[in-house]
Amino acid sequence: MNQNSPAAGPVLKAGNKLSAAFRDFLHLESSGGIVLAIAALLAIIAANSPWQDIYNSFLTIPGAIEIGTTVEIRKPLLVWVNDLWMAIFFFLVGLEIKREFMEGELSSLSQVALPGIAAIGGMIVPALIYVAVNLGSPENLSGWAIPAATDIAFALAVLSLLGNRVPSSLKILLLAIAIFDDLGAILIIAFFYTENLSLGVMALAIAPLAVLAVMNLAGVRNVVPFVLVGGVLWVIVLKSGVHATLAGVITAFAIPLTVKRDSGESPLKLLEHELHVWVAFLILPMFAFANAGVSLAGMGVGSLTEPVTLGIILGLFVGKQVGIFGMLYLTIRAGWAAMPTGANWAQLYGVAALAGIGFTMSLFIGGLAFATTDFQAQIRMGVLLGSIASAVVGFLLIRAVSKRGAVDA
């Protein structure tokens, strides 16, 4: 990537403290966030236009994978996007998490403390708010994790619009909180949104897991075998009842970050670099286009008071701000972590607000939380409004309290 090109944007000027890999990541994520927003807007327009039937028919286009007579997977396009394409997204998330914990911004206890504790608060408080709003409707409680998620691409896209007003330490903090948030989402999906588990089929996963482990220990540099074995694992996980996206995370953790020989590029970093463009500009926008299309027909102000919708809005907009900023404040005041370089309390509150942009991950968890389509309009409305409100407040607050040229060198 040419960092001197106009397309590099303000994010690449964040200063010397950001590594080249970090700058590339921030640029791709923020640019991808803009594409993501456009895809979501197109979906809403399509779902509320004369082309509504075409849009719905597009999402139900059938597709199948058949391997002899033993493996047959038939699903509509929407399910392929949510089960297969999002497995690739979670594969990338797994690569990022592994790299950051082994040699990146989360490789030491001092670096982990502030974003890690803040992320815990940012998941617990929104979930509690959602539950409190929906206590009178037990059938709604399965959606408790919807407002606990943060969308990295959208949040960084909004932050990047502030250019050199924002110190690089804030970008790192927001990214680190979002990484912990993604890790939390992975655990939530594994433990709370797995139904009809088939232990017999799941036992078959031992073989590909063993192969991945052996290849990792042997320092295999070619990524093709990992991808092929990961594909086998995906099919087994899908058939077992566990959500198939978890296969992507497990496969990512097996990819070697370092190699025994000095020559050549790290397989993990190579895959991470190659996948970022595809995920940021194809997979996530496609997911947004397939899942954000909510019909506004018959909806009014009263629709906002539906427990599911209201719980999501308050969870994202209020819960994230209270949970994340509250834990940031307590952690710094207690001396467990230092104030990010060049930042102030108002900017930290703005970061907490931006973390309320749940969008992609919230929509994804919402699809897992409710098996029927009865709640999908409420989920989408809550996620969209909560995320938009968080983006606007976070952007305006950070802009108001930050000066131009604030990026630390």
CATH of the domain at 80: 1.20.1530.10
Q: Is 329 exposed, middle or buried (0-12, 13-18, 19+ CB in 10 A)?
A: middle
Residue 5 within any structural domain of the chain:
no
Residue 407 within any structural domain of the chain:
no
Residue 125 within any structural domain of the chain:
yes
User: Residue ranges of the chain with pLDDT lower than 50?
Assistant: 1-17, 408-409
Residue 317 within any structural domain of the chain:
yes
Distance between terminal CA atoms of the chain? 21
- In this structure, the number of other CB atoms found within 10 A of the CB of residue 275 comes to 18
State the Cα–Cα distance between residues 244 and 105, nearest whole angstrom: 28
Residue 129 within any structural domain of the chain:
yes
- pTM, two decimal places: 0.76
Residue 386 within any structural domain of the chain:
yes
> Quick check: 177 and 119 in contact, CB under 8 A?
yes
pLDDT at 22: 54
Number of domains, the chain: 1
Residue 266 within any structural domain of the chain:
yes
Residue 406 within any structural domain of the chain:
no
pLDDT at 4: 46
Question: What is the three-class DSSP state of 128?
Answer: helix
pLDDT at 158: 83
- In this structure, the number of other CB atoms found within 10 A of the CB of residue 63 comes to 12
pLDDT at 326: 97
pLDDT at 2: 43
- In this structure, the number of other CB atoms found within 10 A of the CB of residue 17 comes to 16
pLDDT digits (tens, 9 = 90+) for 166-214: 887 888 888 889 888 888 888 888 888 876 677 788 888 899 999 999 9
Tokens (6 digits) for 158: 């909004």
Half-sphere exposure of 121 (CA within 13 A, CB side): 21
pLDDT at 71: 67
Tokens (6 digits) for 219: 């320092």
Phi first, then psi: give them for residue 236, nearest 5 degrees.
-65, -45
Question: What is the three-class DSSP state of 28?
Answer: helix
State the Cα–Cα distance between residues 141 and 143, nearest whole angstrom: 5
List CB contacts of 161: < 8 A, sequence separation 6 or more.
395
List CB contacts of 20: < 8 A, sequence separation 6 or more.
3
Q: What is the DSSP letter of 331?
A: H
State the Cα–Cα distance between residues 88 and 313, nearest whole angstrom: 28
Cite the beta strand spans of 222-293 per DSSP E: none
**Domain of 385, in residue numbers:** 10-401
Our CA dihedral for 126, 127, 131, 133, rounded to 10 degrees, sits at 20
pLDDT at 131: 97
pLDDT at 13: 41
pLDDT at 317: 96
State the Cα–Cα distance between residues 213 and 219, nearest whole angstrom: 10
